[in-house]
Amino acid sequence: MKRLLIIFSLLFAGIASTSYAAVKSYPLDKANIDPTDGESLRRGATLFANYCFNCHSVSLMRYSRIGRDLDYDEAQLESLLVFTGAKIGDLMENAMKKEDAKRWFGVVPPDLSVVSRSRGVDWLYTYLRSFYKDPSRPWGVNNAVFKDVAMPHVLWELQGLQHAQFEKVTDDEGVEQQVISKLIIAEPGEISSEQFDNSVRDIVNFLHYMGEPTKQKRLQLGGWVILYLAIFFVVVLLLKKEYWKDVKKTD
């Protein structure tokens, strides 16, 4: 019994600490992506290839699959997405060596094939828009969502650079902490904030598609299956009534 009480106490403490951490985390914005928007997916693919693919692989995806799903022909694929000399049927792996990546970043950049499923689209959308200036960091930037992340702000030319406003908060134990209350554009980028948000939304939409390329087709097929089952149910119900009509007459 004592052992059970200890286990439940540890579980409760873990849940409580997780809930408290969630309260103190940076609030996530809604991505509001549209997986059926082909133009958004194509823009996201181009942005991903230019700003993300240099460091991050998507080794569960093939170029040919993207071409088929996003209506790219072979020439368009080669001009927009294939920068490593790969063939159209190859998996999308970048040319960066793991040894070089670890030396430059301190860690090998993760594969992004299923990052939208592990992190969630709202997390990705907020994360890519939440870099701010921090001279204490190796790349001169930090992130409000992922503190002390090793990734540089690869989209800084588009967004510009942000400053973080901090405020003091007191936790339940009376300890004061500095938390980010607001991010403000200090040095404007090449495009407006609204345009940048839309560009990030396109990237996240593309990452969501890559996490489960068959999802939209599966949902469409599911609709037809449900319709078939509904019609079949009506037929079976009418057939049942017809059979039971004869049974009742016999009784």
Q: What is the pLDDT of residues 165-199, one digit of tens each?
A: 998 888 777 788 888 999 999 999 999 999 999 99
Pairing of strands 91-92, 58-62: antiparallel
| Residues linked to residue 160 through DSSP beta bridges, in sequence order | 188
Residue scoring higher pLDDT (123 or 76): 123
What is the band of 17 on the pLDDT scale with cuts at 50, 70, 90?
Answer: very low
Q: What is the rounded distance in angstroms from the CA atom of residue 203 to the CA atom of residue 116?
A: 11
Confidence check: pLDDT of 239 > 70: yes
What is the band of 7 on the pLDDT scale with cuts at 50, 70, 90?
Answer: very low
What is the band of 148 on the pLDDT scale with cuts at 50, 70, 90?
Answer: very high
Nearest Cα to 163, choosing from 129, 187, 147, 139?
Answer: 187
Structure tokens at 139: 């790349």
Helices 38-51 + 193-211 axis angle, to 10: 100
- CATH class of the region 27-213: mainly alpha
What is the band of 224 on the pLDDT scale with cuts at 50, 70, 90?
Answer: confident
Confidence check: pLDDT of 127 > 90: yes
pTM for the model: 0.78
Considering just the CA atoms, what is the radius of gyration of the chain in Å?
25
Give helix then strand counts, H and E, for the chain.
10, 6
